[in-house]
Amino acid sequence: MSDNEQKAANDARTAPVAVWQILEKLKGQDLVDWRVAEVTNRTSIKERNLDIGYPFGWYAVEPDDFIEAGQVKPARYFGKDLAVWRGEDGKVRIIDAYCKHLGAHMGYGGKVHGNLLECPFHAWRYDGEEGNVKEIPYARVIPPQVKRRCTSTYPTTEANGWIWMWYHPEGIDPLWEVAVHEEVGNPEWTDYEMHEWMVYGSIQNMAENGVDVAHFKYIHGTADVPAAELRWGEWGRGADVRAKMGTPSGVVDGLISYDTMGPGQSWVKFHGISETLLVASIVPVEEDVLRVRYGFTQPRAEVEGAGAGLAKALIRDICKQLDQDKVVWDRQKYEPNPIICDGDGPIPQFRKFYSRYYVGEGGTPGSARLEAAE
Q: Which residues bind Fe ion (CB under 5 A)?
A: 209, 325
Q: HSE on the CB side for 239, CA within 13 Å?
A: 19
Binding mask 116-145 vs ligand FES (x if CB under 6 A, - otherwise)?
Answer: ---x-xx-x---------------------
Q: How far is the CB of 140 from ligand FES (least distance, A)?
A: 16
Closest CA to 80 of 183, 4, 169, 20: 169
Strand boundaries in the chain, DSSP class E: 57-63, 72-77, 80-86, 92-96, 111-113, 116-118, 125-126, 133-135, 153-154, 156-159, 162-167, 193-199, 228-232, 237-247, 250-261, 265-271, 276-286, 289-297
In sequence order, which residues have a C-beta less than 8 Å from that of residue 80 and are 6 or more positions away? 96, 97, 152
x/- contact string, 31-50, with ligand FES (CB under 6 A)?
--------------------
Per partner kind, with CB cut-offs from 5 to 8 A, the member of ligand FES, Fe ion, none near residue 101 is ligand FES
Residue 102 or 359: the one with the smaller Cβ distance to ligand FES is 102
CB-wise, 320 or 356, nearer to Fe ion?
Answer: 320
Q: 168: which DSSP letter?
A: -
Q: At what angle do helices 28-36 and 308-329 cross, to 10 degrees?
A: 40
**Residue 97 is a binding residue for ligand FES (CB under 6 A):** no
Pick what 36 binds: Fe ion, ligand FES, none; C-beta below 5 to 8 Å, kind-dependent.
none
Q: Which stretch binds ligand FES (CB under 6 A): 75-83, 96-104, 286-294, 351-359?
A: 96-104
**H/E stretch holding 25:** none
From Fe ion, ligand FES, none, interface partner of 124 (C-beta below 5 to 8 A by class): ligand FES
- Neighbouring CB atoms inside 10 A of 312's CB total 15
Q: Which stretch binds ligand FES (CB under 6 A): 57-65, 95-103, 204-212, 227-235?
A: 95-103
Q: Which does 121 bind (CB under 5 to 8 A by kind): ligand FES, Fe ion, none?
A: ligand FES
Radius of gyration from C-alpha coordinates of the chain:
23
Interacting partner of 102 out of Fe ion, ligand FES, none (Cβ under 5 to 8 A depending on kind): ligand FES
d(CA 134, CA 114) in angstroms, rounded, equals 12
Tell the smallest beta-carbon distance from residue 119 to ligand FES (Å).
3
Please give the residues from 98 up to 117 whose contact with ligand FES meets the rule CB under 6 A: 99, 101-104
Residue 190 binds what, of Fe ion, ligand FES, none (CB under 5 to 8 Å, by partner type)? none
* Gap between the Cα atoms of 269 and 48, Å rounded: 33
Number of residues lying near ligand FES (CB under 6 A): 9
Task: Write the burial class of residue 181 (CB in 10 Å: 0-12 exposed, 13-18 middle, 19+ buried).
Answer: middle
CA-CA distance, 308 to 314, in Å (whole number)? 10
Helix (H, G, I), strand (E, B) or coil at 241: strand
Least distance in angstroms from the C-beta of 136 to ligand FES? 8
Q: Which does 19 bind (CB under 5 to 8 A by kind): Fe ion, ligand FES, none?
A: none
Please identify, using beta-carbon distances, which residue of 132 and 332 lies nearer to Fe ion: 332
Query: What residue ranges bind ligand FES (CB under 6 A)?
Result: 99, 101-104, 119, 121-122, 124
